[in-house]
Structure 1
Amino acid sequence: MTRSGRARAWVAGYCAVLALIIVGPLAGSGYLLLRDAVSTPRPYLTDSALGLGAAAPRAVPQDALLATLSPLIDGGLLVKAILITALWAAGYGAAVLARELLAAPTPAQLVAATLALWNPFVAERLLQGHWSLLAGYAALPWTAVAASHIRRSMSGTGTLSPGGYAGTTPLAHHTAVSVEMSGGDVSDAPKAGSSTTDSGGATGSAGATDSGGATDSGGVGRGAGGARAVAGRFRGAGGAWAALVAGFAAAGLTPTGSLLAAVVGLALVGRRGFLPAVGLWIVTCAPWLTATALGSGAEPSDPAGVSAFAARAEPWLGTLGSLAGLGGIWNSEAVPTTRTTPLAFVGTALLLAIVALGVRAVWALGRDGRALLIIAAAAILLPALGATGPGLALGEWLVVHVPGAGLLRDTQKYVALAMPAYALCTAAACATVRTWARRFSTEPEVRGDTGTSAVAALFIALLILPLADLAWGVGGAMRPVHYPGGWEKVAERIDAPGDVAVLPTGMFRVFPYSGTAPVLDPAPRILPNDVLQTGELLVRGHAVTGEGNRARTVEEALIQGAPAGTLADLGVGWILVERTTPGPCGDSEKTLSTTELVYEDHNLALYRIPAPTLRDTATPTQRRISTTAHLLWACTLIGSLTAATLTQRSGTRRGTHKSPSA
């Protein structure tokens, strides 16, 4: 293995270790069941899983993916695998971003990876159960690298790596930063117009352009050398496009993740690639865009959710400070213990100090660095403004009048967009501190990589220690649970059409086996028929109404003790009673007395309602359209990942180029 390969293996291994330290308890048997995270052995491909239920398609195509693969692989293992892969990819992607845009050496890459993995955003979203959102978070640095390379390859301002989509930094903007990061002296940098080597091995002027066709980005003139360089640029652009689509599709596991990746990718891809990138992004959005269009009968989101889900000020920080420190989630219970102590202020101050040390270098990168910094600033300032009176009023207006604006109500999750810029800044900060130390030190200068390693080790410690309870399942809060065997037996008994109503009413449960935190009812992801849910949430003591009108009518009928015939007319064929969780049941015993008991144990009881009037939420045509959209997304994801991987391996075998950090 080459030196470059060993360095990359070390970075990848480091990210894997950090990811496993974070989710360690989940390595045991059992299922993730924590607040919004619900993994089950065998979810089913219901209308709700396709996004065709009464509620907004917030978990599309996530639920359909799990339902499709779970007959082959246990659903709990799938969720764990996706979560661990996402965390690893977030860390390693940040390292790759620092390597490709800054030519950062291995120690600085480790700092960038640490920032991406070990921060309040990751901790709070894990505690909230947003494992699939972290897939979109993980795609951001990869999307940035791919989009940056597309812009440079199409404009002829950068060379191509063997991978075809991880290009080097443009010399005119980045040489000084790259030399400084690798421990050299800026005076040793080649000047514009000096001889360089392009991806085909030809030499030419670094400052030349391809305008008029006289020379290419590597300075190669007309003829065979120029043709080879142009061909290499198109090969690289093809790999970059494949990587960009893969980033969009992977982030598109949820609608929010898709929006996050779109912001980064479209901001960096450049004018020439913008419209094609928009088109490809829309293709990766097919599942949730289709579900939104087909679900025209769904109610708009409750405007009360805007204030309920607004960013929250953490102790000693205020809303702006909390967001700048990558924290501030709306749920005060979904935070690590350290974020409720003065360590929240200390950790945020240290994080922002390290980031500030690298801002100047990242801004000097040119368009890529500046775009990411502007995105980061907007991702912090806009959610902070959204938590003010005028911001809340604007958000409520959007939710009422703009279809799909409910995706914007949890504004804090968009602070994820700050991660790529923060990762670059923390990596660049290593060079800044080394420069200061060399300038003011009277001791003989130590070797470049040794000095960088010492600074990187200090930064890693300063990032990790104030948030030490992110380790081991965020202080043990994330742990696998085991469902009672009755769940499987209930699923087997549901062998006839009809939706399922659930008692007690409400969306959340507190089971003896699930811990003290409320969890989403697992019934919709365990039972083969659609489970009626109102989508109503209780946030900060206020009820946020969901979109499930028929479910709300069914719940009211159950609470009032309506006869089984009334529920049958509403399309209900089954009633599941979850006996070990608190919640309102009202006079539902009157209803249950008019039904047929088909299963019961200590935890669960299942009742059948004969001859329900089927009230399908979707038609066969809508199901076919939605299924086709999901297949398109899956094929796009698999195809783009395969194309990007093959392009990288092909380029590596040719050995045409080594990145500056090699």
Structure 2
Amino acid sequence: MTREALRRRLPGVVAVVQALLVLGPALGPGVAIAYDMPWSPDPLWTPFVLGVDTPAPRAVPSDAVAVAIGSVVGAGLAQAAILMAVLVGLGAGCVALLVDLAPEVGLAPRLACVVLAVWNPYVSERLFVGQWVVLLGLAVLPWAMRSTLRVVRGTGSSYALLLSCVVAGIGGVNAVLVVALGVVPVLLIAVAGGAATRVRVTLAAVVACFVGMASAWALPALASDVAPDASAVDAFAPRADSDLGVLGSVLSGGGFWNSAAHPEPRSQPLVALAAMLLGIVSIWALARHARGNRTIAILVPPALGLGIVLCSAFAVTRTGWEQMLGALPGGGALRDSHKFLAPWVVGIAVGCGLVVRGAARRLPEALGTPAAICVIGVVVGLSPQLVWGLGGRLDAVEVPEGYRSGAQRVSDLPEGEVGLLPWNQYRRYSWNASRVSLTLGPRIFDQRVLFNDSLPLREVDVAGERDRAGEVSSAIAKGVDPVSALQQAGVRYVAAELDSGLPVDSRALRAVGTVVVDESSLLVVDLGEASAAPTTHQGPRSVVLGWAVTIVTAVLVMGAGVARRGRRRLPVGLLRSRS
């Protein structure tokens, strides 16, 4: 293999190897279930997956895509493939952006870039809580930024950029927002600076693509007129994950609002300081290179992202942030401002490659490679918790057969709403090593499910978006037992997950109706015909129209790609005759 071939291919190999090393046990038999990643072992098109039984369907269309893939290859393999694609795509994308900015960059800088793209607190904290859709947005981001720069410079077509927008759309609201931050501001600045008509058309096409891909969740959410809980903004504000405070934590890509996800090594002052300095030096190297090569636009997304995060982090500016979120339709999607740090993280990875390139130029040739290896070793050493599924936290498990068969029986019952107990959406399933996770119920019961959608945090409980769930919570708070509260809400069935780590009064549940599922992990009782069958949160028009617009958008972009490749394959003479 020639040196040039090694330089091109080895970073991709490293991207695959490090993804295997990070995911490790999560790729085994079964499915990994952690926090916001309650992956159903049985791919089902449940009402929750389709977004018809929740006011703000944030799991749309990501869950549907996972179910579609799982229906072909199985849920476990689908999850493994998606997680691998996200981490490999992230590393490869950052290297592709680096090479686009500095085509002559050597092997060592590329390897440093691909490693830092994954070995950082942003990836660690999001992976810890199972937010794979945010990581999908992060993985798409460098590819989208690269395509945007090429469009602005006139060296690339808009198709690659639109394709990135479609892939981001698969991740739903969070992935779309992350990628839009890396694309739209750069195009707007170019248009304001008098860019060619082609750039203006691309901007319009990108906005239309984002809107189209977002329709599956945006139209139902807007139709339901859900108002975000503005008082909860403080609960989602960035938190210091090191002794350097919020600013020091954020500058290295950390500072996630969920302190349970903070990497333990960052509690060591030297680790936190080294990570912050690496982040600052890398962004400085990127800024210096961008200024010298007239690609200053690459700095806009990282700067904007950092500004948004800091605006929501400090009390001086947080009031204005809260007011803006309360005034915007769907403003609740912006509460987790930390996700907008994604362009900064991409900038650090690319900038680190430029730092290594600069160091290699200044050092004797014999010291260049050892120095690069040291940098890569330092990067990995700053985030050792990522090794092997975050120390085993991400571990594929087999969901008990009794639970799965019981859930199938619930799905086969006459149509009726299922009230889910315990009345808390988070679980510590014993068969999942008591790891915290969302309940599987809405994703494994092919029925409408009424569950507590409030978010219990250490400081405050963030109110949910389901009015009827809120009424059940209020009744329970007044002393009504959960089973009676669900009866009053008019559900047809009550399902209790018995090994969730939370108490359930199974004796009281058995006494109120006919037991239809009685497994060690799942108890379901039929209360009889409800007095009034509850309707879906959204009318069929908003759901059907939203899905139709999203599917049509994806098909149009994919179809344009097929037509584009077809034109390339036509003989030159035929193209001339057509013109």
TM normalised by structure 2 equals 0.88
In structure 2, the CA distance between the partners of 1:45 and 1:427, relative to structure 1 (3 Å rule), is same
C-alpha spacing 1:555/1:46, structure 2 compared with 1 (3 Å): farther
Question: Which structure's CA Rg is the greater one?
Answer: 1
Could you give the per-residue CA deviations for residues 90-126 of structure 1, whole angstroms, max 9, x where no partner exists?
1011111111111122221111111211111000100
C-alpha separation between the residues in 2 aligned to 1:50 and 1:28?
28
SS at match of 2:32: strand
Matched, 1:289 2:215: yes
| Matched position secondary structure for 1:546 | coil
1:627 aligns with 2:535: no
Report if aligned partners of 1:503, 1:576 keep a CA contact under 8 Å in 2. Answer: yes
* Contact 1:336 1:474 survives alignment (8 Å): no
Question: Hey, what's the Cα distance between the residues in 2 that align with 1:66 and 1:459?
Answer: 37
- CA 315–294 in structure 1, closer or farther in 2 if over 3 Å, else same: closer
C-alpha distance 533-396 of structure 1, shift in aligned 2 (>3 A)? farther
For 1:165-184, list aligned pairs within 5 A.
165=156
- What letter is aligned with 1:553? E
Change (3 A) 1:591 1:486: closer
Q: 1:615 aligns with which of 511, 514, 534?
A: 534
**Alignment-derived partner of residue 317 in structure 1:** 244
- Residue 656 of structure 1: aligned partner: none
Q: What corresponds to 2:576 in structure 1?
A: none
Counterpart mapping for 1:267-416 below 5 A: 267-269=185-187, 270-271=190-191, 272=197, 273-295=199-221, 296-352=223-279, 354-355=281-282, 358-368=285-295, 370-416=296-342
1:366 Cα deviation from its structure 2 partner? 4.4
Q: Tell me the CA shift for residue 590 of structure 1.
A: 4.9
Residue 604 of structure 1 corresponds to which residue in structure 2? 522
Please state how far the C-alpha of 1:134 moved relative to its aligned partner. Answer: 0.8
In structure 2, the partner of 1:15 is 15
Shift of 1:303: 1.6
> Deviation of residue 409 (structure 1)?
0.8
Residue 528 (structure 1) aligns with: 446
Q: Which residue of 2 aligns with 1:258?
A: 176
1:573 to 476, 489, 492: 492
Offset of 1:459 from its aligned partner? 1.7
Structure 2 counterpart SS, 1:416: helix
Q: Secondary structure at the match of 2:494?
A: strand
Aligned residues: 553
> Separation in 2 of the partners of 1:572 and 1:483?
26
Is there any run of 5+ residues in structure 1 with no aligned partner, and where?
A: 159-164, 166-236, 438-444, 652-662
| Distance in 2, Cα, partners of 1:570 & 1:533 | 11
Give 1:88-127 correspondences, 5 Å limit.
88-103=88-103, 104-127=105-128
Match of 1:57 in 2: 57
Opposite residue 290 of structure 2, the aligned amino acid is W
* Match in the other structure for 2:577: none
Structure 1 residues 134, 622: CA separation in 2 closer, same or farther (over 3 Å shift)? same
Confirm or deny: 8 A CA contact 1:395 1:409 kept in the other structure.
no
- Give structure 2 stretches of 5+ with no counterpart: 192-196, 571-579
CA contact (8 A) 1:305 1:544 kept: yes
Supply the AA of the counterpart residue of 1:378.
L
* Conserved 8 A contact 2:22-2:386: yes
CA distance change for structure 1 residues 311 and 405 in 2, over 3 Å: closer, same or farther? same
Aligned to 1:514: 432
- Greater alpha carbon shift after TM alignment, 42-51 vs 602-611: 42-51
Query: How many Å separate the matches in 2 of 1:360 and 1:285?
Result: 31
Q: What letter matches 1:491 in structure 2?
A: A
Aligned 8 A contact 2:430 2:499 in 1: yes
Give the direction of change, closer, same or farther, for the CA distance of 1:281–1:29 in structure 2 (3 Å limit).
Answer: farther
**Distance in 2 of aligned mates of 1:387 and 1:123:** 20
Task: Decide which of 164, 174, 191 is 1:247's aligned counterpart.
Answer: 164
CA contact (8 A) 1:144 1:265 kept: yes
- Note if contact 1:250-1:637 (Cα within 8 Å) is conserved in structure 2: no
C-alpha contact 2:516 2:524 (8 A) present in aligned 1: yes
In structure 2, how many angstroms separate the alpha carbons of the residues matched to 1:349 and 1:471? Answer: 21
**Compared with structure 1, are the counterparts of its residues 408 and 562 closer, same or farther at alpha carbon in structure 2 (3 Å cutoff)?**
closer
Task: Return the letter of the residue paired with 2:138.
Answer: Y
Closer, same or farther: CA 551–353 of 1 in aligned 2, 3 Å: closer
User: Do structure 1's residue 498 and structure 2's residue 416 form an aligned pair?
Assistant: yes
Q: Is the 8 A contact 1:20 1:84 kept in 2?
A: yes
- Note the C-alpha offset of 1:461: 1.4
Aligned with residue 469 of structure 2, among 551, 555, 558: 551
- Give the match's secondary structure for 2:72: coil
State percent identity of aligned pairs: 26
**How far apart are the structure 2 equivalents of 1:333 and 1:562?**
29
**SS at 1:33 equivalent:** strand
| Deviation at residue 400 of structure 1 after TM alignment | 2.3
Distance 1:648 1:142 in 2: 24
Code of the aligned partner of 1:36: D
CA contact (8 A) 1:136 1:254 kept: no
Is 1:458 equivalent to 2:374 in the alignment? Answer: yes
2:186–2:301: 8 Å Cα contact kept in structure 1? Answer: no
Please state how far the C-alpha of 1:418 moved relative to its aligned partner. 0.9
Q: CA 1:314–1:640 in structure 2 vs 1: closer, same or farther (change >3 Å)?
A: farther
Which of 390, 394, 398 is the matching residue for 1:478?
394
What amino acid maps onto 1:474 in structure 2?
Answer: L
Matched residues in 2 for 1:571 and 1:636: separation?
43
Q: CA deviation at 1:341?
A: 2.6
Structure 2 counterpart of 1:14, one-letter code: V
Cα distance change on mapping 1:280 and 1:374 into 2, 3 Å:
closer
Give the Cα separation in 2 of the matches to 1:399 and 1:361.
35
On the 8 A contact 1:499/1:529 being kept in 2, the answer is yes
User: Kindly tell me: are residues 274 and 129 of structure 1, through their superposed partners in 2, closer, same or farther at Cα, counting changes over 3 Å?
Assistant: farther
Q: Which amino acid is the alignment partner of residue 548 of structure 2?
A: T
Are the aligned partners of 1:501 and 1:575 in contact in 2 as well (CA < 8 Å)? yes
CA distance in 1, matches of 2:568, 2:354: 29
Change (3 A) 1:516 1:597: closer
Q: Does 1:132 align with 2:133?
A: yes
Distance 1:619 1:68 in 2: 24
For the residues of structure 2 that align with 1:136 and 1:383, how far apart are their CA atoms?
Answer: 17
> What secondary structure, in the 3-state scheme, does the structure 1 residue paired with 2:525 have?
strand
Let me know the Cα RMSD of the aligned residues. 2.8
Name the TM-score, length of structure 1 as normaliser: 0.77
Is residue 62 of structure 2 the alignment partner of residue 142 of structure 1? no
Deviation at 1:451, TM superposition (A): 5.6
* Partner Cα separation in structure 1 for residue 340 and residue 118 of structure 2: 16
* Partners of 1:45 and 1:283 in 2: CA distance: 25
Q: Distance in 1 between matches of 2:545 and 2:281?
A: 49
Q: 1:386 to 1:622 in 2, by over 3 A?
A: closer
Looking at secondary structure, tell me which structure has more helix per residue: 2
